[in-house]
């Protein structure tokens, strides 16, 4: 089994997330993509994050038309600080140690990977797929220097269609009563309106 993992705040989930996940699934022949909404991440403490049940519901709604997409609430269930290493260990317990895990991260996050909790252990245990837009170069030399051989085997780079969509922009548009059509799935658009989110 090869499982792709896309973690995020998903506040809200949008077509950038979905298109990237689908492209990566195809390119790496993954059996499924697991979307894992994050509990409030430490670097976003300065803004109030939408309630977990809303973010989880929107993620479920957005992914239900793709049979390869699944959603896990494991990080929302966890109390206290959540590390990717905990998620890896938990997923290996659920799916078996031989299941290969592929974490999808933005290329900009790749530069920070060496600072992640237990970074070397993490890269030894799972794969990372750094997504970048066409024409945007990622400096891989520092990553390679830090992680050594396992960088070449476990850290992959891929260019995906450059979707200039961000949750920040969507929240701002809703606040300004502007259209978010074609940025999020219709069913998410309807949910945001019905639940009066981001106003």
What is the footprint of ligand ATP within residues 23-82 (CB under 6 A)?
none
Residue, CB closest to ligand ATP: 16
Token pair 């051989």 in the structure block, residue: 149
The region of 2-10, 26-34, 72-80, 178-186 touching ligand ATP under the rule CB under 6 A is 2-10
Tokens representing 41? 């991440």
- Phi first, then psi, for residue 119 (nearest 5°) are -55, -45
- Phi first, then psi, for residue 2 (nearest 5°) are -125, 120
Q: Does 8 bind ligand ATP (CB under 6 A)?
A: yes
Q: Does 132 bind ligand ATP (CB under 6 A)?
A: no
Site string for ligand ATP, 150-169 (x = CB under 6 A): -------------x-xxxx-
Q: How are the residues of the chain apportioned to helix, strand and coil, as percentages rounded to the nearest 5?
A: 45, 20, 35
What is the footprint of ligand ATP within residues 102-121 (CB under 6 A)?
105-106
Tell me which residue of 125, 24, 17 sits closest to 71, measured CA to CA: 17
Distance CA 193, CA 199 (A): 9
Q: Does 11 bind ligand ATP (CB under 6 A)?
A: yes
Among 3, 5, 17, 101, binds ligand ATP (CB under 6 A): 17
Question: With respect to ligand ATP, which residue has the nearer C-beta, 10 or 102?
Answer: 10
Among 16, 50, 84, 126, binds ligand ATP (CB under 6 A): 16
Question: With respect to ligand ATP, which residue has the nearer C-beta, 16 or 98?
Answer: 16
Enumerate residues 6+ apart whose C-beta is below 8 A from 46: none
Q: What strand order describes the sheet that includes 32-37?
A: 69-71, 32-37, 2-8, 100-106, 127-133, 155-160
Q: Which residues bind ligand ATP (CB under 6 A)?
A: 6, 8-11, 16-17, 20, 105-106, 131, 163, 165-168
């Amino acid at each position: 089994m090869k499982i792709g993992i896309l973690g995020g705040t998903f506040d809200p989930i949008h077509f950038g997330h979905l298109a990237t996940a689908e492209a990566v699934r195809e390119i790496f022949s993954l059996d499924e993509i697991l979307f894992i909404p994050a509990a409030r991440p430490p670097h976003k403490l300065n803004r109030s994050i939408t309630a977990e049940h809303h973010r989880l519901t929107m993620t479920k709604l957005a992914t239900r038309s793709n049979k390869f997409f699944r959603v896990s609430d494991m990080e929302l269930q966890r109390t206290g600080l959540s590390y990717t290493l905990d998620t890896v260990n938990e997923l290996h317990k659920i799916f078996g140690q031989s299941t290969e895990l592929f974490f999808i991260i933005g290329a900009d996050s790749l530069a920070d990977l060496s600072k992640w909790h237990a970074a070397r252990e993490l890269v030894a245990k799972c794969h990372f797929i750094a997504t970048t837009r066409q024409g945007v170069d990622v400096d891989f030399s520092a990553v390679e220097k830090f992680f050594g051989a396992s960088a070449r085997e476990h850290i992959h780079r891929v260019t995906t269609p450059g979707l200039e969509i961000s949750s920040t922009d969507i929240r701002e548009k809703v606040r300004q009563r502007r259209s978010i059509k074609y940025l999020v799935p219709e069913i998410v658009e309807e949910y945001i309106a019905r639940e009066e989110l981001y106003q």
